[in-house]
Structure 1
Amino acid sequence: MWLRQANDALRFPVFPSSFEINSKAIVNTSNVLKLGEIAVFGGVGLRTTEISSFFPKNEASYCDYTGFPTPYDCVNKIQKWMNEGLILRYTITETNINMEVIVDSFKYEEKDCTGDVYFTLSLKEYKRIQIPKVNTNNDKISSKLDLPLTKGFEVKNKQKTHRVGKGDSLWSLAKKYYGNGDLWKRIYDANKKLIKNPDIIQDGWVLTIP
């Protein structure tokens, strides 16, 4: 389980005993003359999740890896991300969970004199919006800009190409052009006619970088 913000990342030392993603449809109801109440689909609401676990002070068999940060290094990192309103990338490997989020709430405590810090972290999905761009020559809307409402994984709208060289991978290209390797699927989706296996790209290919 990971949280990433650009080049900064936090891998949770202890995987929570369970996790869930909450999602819902937006259904609006109206009263129509002679028909009565009707339901109208209004889109999909933002997904949310709540993570409860702890940051261990010492290494133990239940830890997912060694060399993890101290409990309060983890706390301070999450607190900083929340206070600055940064967009984060939330992923759980070997699942379909890979989405942009912001920290909705974060609480922590010590309760057993071991130095471990127990926490509950609430995350809310972040969705980018399309803002119309006005052509000043004729006052008509000519294109749209994909702009984030808050700081984080900024995406440039200009399309580029890249000639694959030795050592390149979709992850390294996403890291180079977007500042975040987890956005490799953007490049893969734009080049599906050429790339059959996202783990294999060949020297000399010219890839579109959307």
Structure 2
Amino acid sequence: MAKSAYDVYLDNCLLPVTPEKIQISINNNNSTVNLINEGEINILKKAGLTDIEFEAEIPQVKHPYAVYKDGFQGAGYYFDIFERLKTGKKPFQFIVCRNTPANKKLLNTNMKVSLEDYTITEEAGNGFDFRVKFKLKQYREYGTKTINIKLTVSKPKASAEPQRETNNSPAPAAAQTYTVVSGDCLWNIAKRFYGSGSKYTVIYDANRGVVGGNPNLIYPGQVLTIPAA
């Protein structure tokens, strides 16, 4: 069987068999209301969280069409990873790398998600192999605000001060290094050091020898150079 046109990663785990289809639902939070004299109107709001569903084969025995990044592993190896992602209470990267038959790179998907549910199915027709259905949901970073209230005898005063995001650190004055941890991506690292995720190309260009040809694939333990501002 020919190599699949795309690879699917859950965190750093490459699925051994590419799903036959992936359903990505981009949701919205728009509201439709009925005004007395105007009829229905649509109130546009910020898009909701994206839902992702797919089903993948997880072999128990080695097949020639399966791909193993670090050598053959049985189904139990992958089940341990799935359970860790489900119960770890941490988001992780969902990555789809797409290539043409000529190995030309196409649009990739790189989204921080949570594993909402997964269902393991075992059927006699599949031999020793399993099928696992996944339900993922997009994860968005969020912060809290602190409110300082100052009271005087004559007149109460209140002021609200947004809590500063820890990711918006000032750009480094000199080059330094950063060790990748689980859940990192170049976008978030650039946001942390430069205040803007769009500057991830600065880090990528300085670390092509470490990262390789795909800026969407970085792994825990890699040491990256963070160029000066």
Pair in the same fold by TM > 0.5:
yes
Give the counterpart letter for 1:87 in structure 2. P
- Counterpart for residue 169 of structure 2: 159
1:50 partnered with 2:84: no
Q: Find the aligned partners of 2:58 and 2:226 in 1 and give their Cα distance.
A: 45
In structure 1, which of residues 98, 103, 111 is the aligned counterpart of residue 123 of structure 2? 111
Give the counterpart letter for 2:228 in structure 1. V
- What secondary structure does 1:199 align onto? helix
Q: Find the aligned partners of 1:40 and 1:72 in 2 and give their Cα distance.
A: 48
- Counterpart for residue 186 of structure 1: 188
- Counterpart for residue 95 of structure 2: 91
Q: Find the aligned partners of 1:118 and 1:100 in 2 and give their Cα distance.
A: 24
Q: Percent identity?
A: 17
Q: Find the aligned partners of 1:157 and 1:199 in 2 and give their Cα distance.
A: 18
- What secondary structure does 1:2 align onto? strand
The answer as to whether partners of 2:187 and 2:200 remain within 8 angstroms in 1 is: no
Q: Find the aligned partners of 2:42 and 2:188 in 1 and give their Cα distance.
A: 35
Deviation per CA, 1:157-194, whole angstroms, max 9, x where unpaired? 462527436xx6xxxx361xxx2474212344637998
- Name whichever of 119-128 and 51-60 sits farther off: 51-60
- Name whichever of 186-195 and 60-69 sits farther off: 186-195
Alignment of 1:8-23 (within 5 A): 9-23=12-26
Q: Find the aligned partners of 1:194 and 1:52 in 2 and give their Cα distance.
A: 35
- Counterpart for residue 206 of structure 1: 228
The answer as to whether partners of 1:21 and 1:49 remain within 8 angstroms in 2 is: yes
Q: Find the aligned partners of 2:201 and 2:137 in 1 and give their Cα distance.
A: 33
Q: Find the aligned partners of 2:22 and 2:168 in 1 and give their Cα distance.
A: 37
- What secondary structure does 1:34 align onto? coil
How far is 1:24 from its partner?
2.4
Which structure 2 segments of 5+ residues have no match? 1-7, 99-106, 151-156, 208-224
Which structure 1 segments of 5+ residues have no match? 147-155
> Larger strand proportion, structure 1 or 2?
1
RMSD, matched Cα: 3.2
Question: Judging changes above 3 Å, is the alpha-carbon distance between structure 1 residues 144 and 204 closer, same or farther for their aligned structure 2 residues?
Answer: closer
TM-score by length of 2: 0.66
- Counterpart for residue 3 of structure 1: 10
Larger Rg: 2
How many residues get paired? 185
TM-score by length of 1: 0.72
Q: Find the aligned partners of 1:122 and 1:130 in 2 and give their Cα distance.
A: 25
How far is 1:106 from its partner?
0.7
Give the counterpart letter for 1:183 in structure 2. C
